[in-house]
Amino acid sequence: MDIGIVGLGLIGGSLGRDWRALGHRVWGVSRQAATVEQAVAMGAIDGGSTDLASFHGRPVAVVVICTPLDQVVPTGRALFPHLETTTVVTDVGSVKAPIVAALEPAWRRFVGGHPMAGTADQGIQAAQRGLFAGRPYVLTPTATTDPDTLACLTTLLRPLGCHLHPCDPAAHDQAVAWISHLPVLVSAALVGASCTGPSPAVLALAQALASSGFQDTSRVGGGNPDLGLLMARENRPAVAAALDHYRRQIDYLATLIQTEDWAALHTYLRQTQAGRPAFVAPDPPPAAPPQPL
Amino acid sequence: MDIGIVGLGLIGGSLGRDWRALGHRVWGVSRQAATVEQAVAMGAIDGGSTDLASFHGRPVAVVVICTPLDQVVPTGRALFPHLETTTVVTDVGSVKAPIVAALEPAWRRFVGGHPMAGTADQGIQAAQRGLFAGRPYVLTPTATTDPDTLACLTTLLRPLGCHLHPCDPAAHDQAVAWISHLPVLVSAALVGASCTGPSPAVLALAQALASSGFQDTSRVGGGNPDLGLLMARENRPAVAAALDHYRRQIDYLATLIQTEDWAALHTYLRQTQAGRPAFVAPDPPPAAPPQPL
C-alpha cells in the first residue's frame, strides 16, 4: 500500500520504519528538508518533500498526520485539497474531540487516532521499529464514519502489534485527562511546592535527601513544558474537571490530617493501594515485531 | 566492635550483613524466634534472642533500634535498663524530632539516625549487602550530644559507603515531609481521584490506556498503607504544612486553567522543569562495597 506521513518526528518516523519493513511504500512530508533527508537515510520513508502539494497525483491510500498537537487541524485543512477523495486520513494527536470536530466535516474519510507510545527522546533521530508493539492505539470513529475507512486503518495498524481501542473522541479525552494530563499537573505541583515551600536550609537538605519516591512522583511534572501546556489547553474541559476532583481529594486528606482521623486516612490509603493495580497491571507480552508481508 | 541490632527487618538485617562483613560481631533481637534463626542463617547476625534482657552483661558498644517507626520509643525505654551506661544507642526511624525528644533525655548517649535506603521488599529475607552504599544517612545530634558519641557512630557508619548528613531533628522532619511524605499523599490522591472521578466507561478506558506517566506518578501512593499512615501521624505538623502549601499550588494551577492563562501555566511548567534536577541529580557513583577491616 502507498502511505503518506506528514510530520516526521518520533511517531511519524517510527510508523514509517514499521510500515516499510512490512512492505509498504511511504511518502513523507516535513517542514525541514534536512528531516526528510534524515528520514530517507534511516529508512523511515522511501522519499519525501517539504511541500504538501507533493501529494498531488500521488496514489496514497492513507495519510497519517503526525505533527505536534496544535498543528494537526491546520495541517489537515492544508492537506485535503491535494488528496484524492478516496484517501483515508488519520492523525496521532493526544486530544481527539476538537480535532475530530474540525476535520471530520472537512474530510469524509477522516478518523482520529492516538497511539499511546513514546520514549523520553523526540524527533526523527529517536524513531524506532516496534515502538507500537504491545501498546494501546486508540481510534475514534463516530456515527458518521464509513465502515470501510475504519476497516482500512485497522488492517494497516494491526500488523504493528498494537492493541486497537476504538472509542468515542470525548471518552478518549476524558480518559487521558485522568491518566496522562492530570499526572503532569499533580507532579508539577509537587515540584513547585517543594521548590518554594521549604526554608533555604531545609530546601538544601531536601534536595540532598530526595530519592526514588520523589524522583518517580516528580518525573512527568519536570518534563517538556510545551507538551504540558498543549495538553491542558487542548483538553481544557476534561483536564479542569479532573483537576477539580483531584483538589477535593487533597482537601479531604488535609482534613483527615488536621483532625487526626487516622482510621479514615488508613482506609483511604488501603483503597488507593487496592485501586492502583487495575491501571498498571503488567502489559500483556508484546506481540511479535512486524514481519514482512 | 560488638554491635546490637533490635528489630531484624530489611534495615536491621542489611546493617548486620555489612557490619559482619567488615569484621564486627553483631547480636540481634527480634520478637520472633524464627526471625532470629533466619538472621543467623543468612549471616546478618552472629547470634540473637527474642529478649531485650539478653543485652544484660553483653559488651555491646553500640545498639541500633531498627523497629517500625511507632515502636522505636517504647523499644528504647525497654532496652536502656539492660545496657551499660557507656553504650551508644541510635535508631533508624524516618521521623526524628519526636523520637529524639523522647529518648535523648532518657539516654545520654542516644543520637537519632535515618538511613535513606530501601527496596520494594521488606523483612529479613530482603536484607542485602551494600544497601546503604551511595545513599544518604542522616544523623541528628543536638546541642546536648556528646562529641564522642557522634564520632563513634560516624566511625561505624562511614565504612558502609553511605553519605552522612548530620542535621537538626526538626530540619530532617521538614525535609522528608517535602520529599518523602508529601509525594505519598500527592500520589495517593491521584489514584483516589482516578478511581472515583470517571464514569464507569471512562474508568475502564483509562485503566486500559494508563502507561508509564500514570505508573510512575501513582507508585508511592499505591504503596504500603501502614507506612503512609505512620509517616503522616508521626510527622504531622511538617506533613500538614507541606500539604497545605501543595494545595495552594493545585489551586493556582486550577485557576490558570479556568482563566485560560496559558502564558502563566507555561511559565509554571518551565519553572518545574528547571527546578526538578536539583532534587534528582544522578547519584554519585556508589562507594566501593564494604571490605573486611
Percent of chain B beyond pLDDT 90?
92
- Considering chain B, tell me which residue range(s) the CATH 1.10.3660.10 domain(s) occupy: 172-258
Distance CA B204, CA A251 (A): 26
Taking alpha carbons only, the member of B163, B285, B45 closest to residue A208 is: B163
- Give whole-number Cα distances, A260 to A252, A255, B97, B235, B291, in Å: 12, 8, 18, 12, 47
> Which 195-224 residues of chain B touch chain A by CB within 8 A?
195-199, 201-202, 205-211, 213-224
Residue A21 at interface with chain B, using a CB cutoff of 8 Å: no
Tens of pLDDT along A216-248? 999 999 999 999 999 999 999 999 999 999 999
Tens of pLDDT along B122-156? 899 999 999 999 999 999 999 999 999 999 999 99
Q: Which pLDDT score, from 0 to 100, does residue A284 have? A: 47
Domain spanning A172-258: which CATH class is it, in words?
A: mainly alpha
Angle separating helix axes A200-209 and A182-196, nearest 10 degrees: 130
Confidence of residue B292 (pLDDT cuts 50, 70, 90): low
- Contact criterion met (CB < 8 Å) for A220 and B216: yes
Q: What is the DSSP string of A259-270?
A: TT-HHHHHHHHH
Shortest CA distance from B226: residue in chain A:
A266
- Considering chain A, tell me which residue range(s) the CATH 3.40.50.720 domain(s) occupy: 2-167
For CA atoms A20, A165, B205, A6, the dihedral sign is positive
- Contact criterion met (CB < 8 Å) for B186 and A213: no
Q: Which pLDDT score, from 0 to 100, does residue A121 have? A: 79
CB-nearest to A202 from B175, B184, B257 is: B175
Neighbours of A1 (CB within 10 A): 16
Taking alpha carbons only, the member of B120, B127, B137 closest to residue B220 is: B120
CB-nearest to A246 from B138, B189, B275 is: B189
Percent of chain B beyond pLDDT 70?
96
Distance CA A207, CA A2 (A): 53
User: Which residues of B fall within a CB distance of 8 Å from A208?
Assistant: 136, 163, 165
Tens of pLDDT along B13-45? 999 999 999 999 999 999 999 999 999 999 999
What is the length of chain A?
Answer: 293
Confidence of residue B157 (pLDDT cuts 50, 70, 90): very high
Cell of B262: 496559558
Shortest CA distance from B225: residue in chain A:
A269
Tens of pLDDT along B211-241? 889 999 999 999 999 999 999 999 999 999 9
Strand partners, B48: B28
Residues in chain A with pLDDT < 70?
A: 281-293
Distance CA A235, CA A173 (A): 7
Cell of B104: 535523648
Residue B120 at interface with chain A, using a CB cutoff of 8 Å: no
Q: Which pLDDT score, from 0 to 100, does residue A262 have? A: 98
Confidence of residue B291 (pLDDT cuts 50, 70, 90): low
Distance CA B235, CA B226 (A): 14
What lies within 8 Å, CB to CB, of A68 at 6+ separation is A7, A230
Range list of H helices, chain B: 10-21, 33-41, 72-79, 97-103, 147-157, 169-176, 182-196, 200-209, 212-218, 225-234, 236-258, 262-275, 277-280
Q: Which pLDDT score, from 0 to 100, does residue A30 have? A: 98
Tens of pLDDT along B204-219? 999 999 988 999 999 9
Tens of pLDDT along A282-292? 644 445 555 55
Distance CA A203, CA A76 (A): 48
Distance CA B185, CA B241 (A): 13
Cell of A10: 518520533
Helix, strand, or coil (residue B219): coil
pTM comes to 0.90
Strand partners, B163: B136
- Average pLDDT taken over every residue of chain B: 94
What is the ipTM score, two decimals? Answer: 0.90
Distance CA B199, CA A200 (A): 44
Tens of pLDDT along A75-88? 999 999 999 999 99
Residue type, B126: A
Q: Which pLDDT score, from 0 to 100, does residue A290 have? A: 54
Cell of B174: 521538614
Phi then psi for residue B32, to 5 deg, are: -105, 125
B2-167 maps to CATH 3.10.50.40: no
Q: Which pLDDT score, from 0 to 100, does residue A119 have? A: 73
Judge whether B271 and A195 are in contact, CB under 8 Å. Answer: yes
Tell me: pLDDT of B283 over 50. Answer: no
What lies within 8 Å, CB to CB, of A256 at 6+ separation is A262, A264, A265, A268
Q: Which pLDDT score, from 0 to 100, does residue A117 have? A: 86
∠A30-A222-A31 over CA atoms, to 5°? Answer: 10
Check residue B13 and give left, alpha or beta (phi > 0: left; psi -120 to 50: alpha). Answer: alpha
Judge whether A176 and B211 are in contact, CB under 8 Å. Answer: no
- Contact criterion met (CB < 8 Å) for A240 and B219: no
Helix, strand, or coil (residue B45): coil
Helix (H) or strand (E) holding B181: none
Q: Which pLDDT score, from 0 to 100, does residue B293 have? A: 46
User: Which residues of A fall within a CB distance of 8 Å from B251?
Assistant: 247
Q: Which pLDDT score, from 0 to 100, does residue B282 have? A: 61
User: Which residues of B fall within a CB distance of 8 Å from A196?
Assistant: 245
Shortest CA distance from B265: residue in chain A:
A229
- Contact criterion met (CB < 8 Å) for B210 and A247: no
